[in-house]
Amino acid sequence: MASGENIEVLDLALTELRDVNARLQGDGASANGFFRIINPRGAHALACGLDNEIEVEVEGHTGYYCAGMNQKAKVVINGNAGQGVAENMMSGEVRVTGDVSQSAGATAHGGLLVIEGNAAARCGISLKGGDIVVKGNVGHMSMFMAQAGTLVVLGDAGDALGDSLYEAQIYVRGSADNLGADCIEKEMRAEHHEKLRVLLEKAGCSDVDVSEFKRYGSARALYNFKPDNVDAY
């Protein structure tokens, strides 16, 4: 963030959430560029729909869908975040210094989501192209039906990781003992090490050894309907 005199402070104890979001989304937001939000008190849908190259720092915990539909902005949440943080993100960066609830980064098309704590169930569900780095653990059904993009987990993965996965990639440093349907461990080649190294550097984890990770992806067995199974429908 910029120096203190260049930061516009928005206080949710004094200003309505709708007005705070309108200021961040407004035409004049990019002229200022730097915002600090105080007293968020678990507000839902905070800093949503941003489409300017601005930086927003939230001092405290947030509720559902914080920084949803983000485009271009850099948002830092100094606390925990509720369900669907950075949902449907298009570009930019969202960073959470604490833990997040379920469906973090759901349907994201682009951008980078960094979670410095743990993520609950369905992290990266239906991911469509964004990148997610979780420094802790992820819960069950993470990357369910993920179509594109990357999830990096420095801790452990819960049950049914990558269930019904398409072409998204998953890297896990800890354990991933119960993979979802059609998700399998795959070879880690030189290009995967390099891609992982770049993502870890962006997330502030350049000291992590990429050789400690395993890669998971789709076995592609669910891509086509098999007539042998017709009696099951």
Model pTM score: 0.94
Distance CA 29, CA 31 (A): 5
Contacts of 17 (CB under 8 A, 6+ apart): 43, 44, 45, 46
Predicted confidence at residue 119, as pLDDT, reads 98
For residues 24 and 9, is the Cβ–Cβ distance under 8 A?
no
Predicted confidence at residue 27, as pLDDT, reads 77
For residues 101 and 122, is the Cβ–Cβ distance under 8 A?
no
Distance CA 214, CA 204 (A): 20
For residues 50 and 74, is the Cβ–Cβ distance under 8 A?
no
Predicted confidence at residue 230, as pLDDT, reads 62
Predicted confidence at residue 214, as pLDDT, reads 98
- pLDDT means per 10 residues, the chain with 233 residues, are 78 97 86 92 97 96 98 97 98 98 98 98 98 98 98 98 97 97 97 97 97 96 71 62
- Cβ burial, residue 165 (10 Å; 0-12/13-18/19+): buried
CA 44, 65, 23, 132 dihedral sign is positive
CATH number of the 4-220 domain: 2.160.20.60
- Report in angstroms the alpha-carbon separations of 191 from 65, 166, 187, 202, 216: 34, 19, 11, 17, 14
Structure tokens, 2: 């910029």
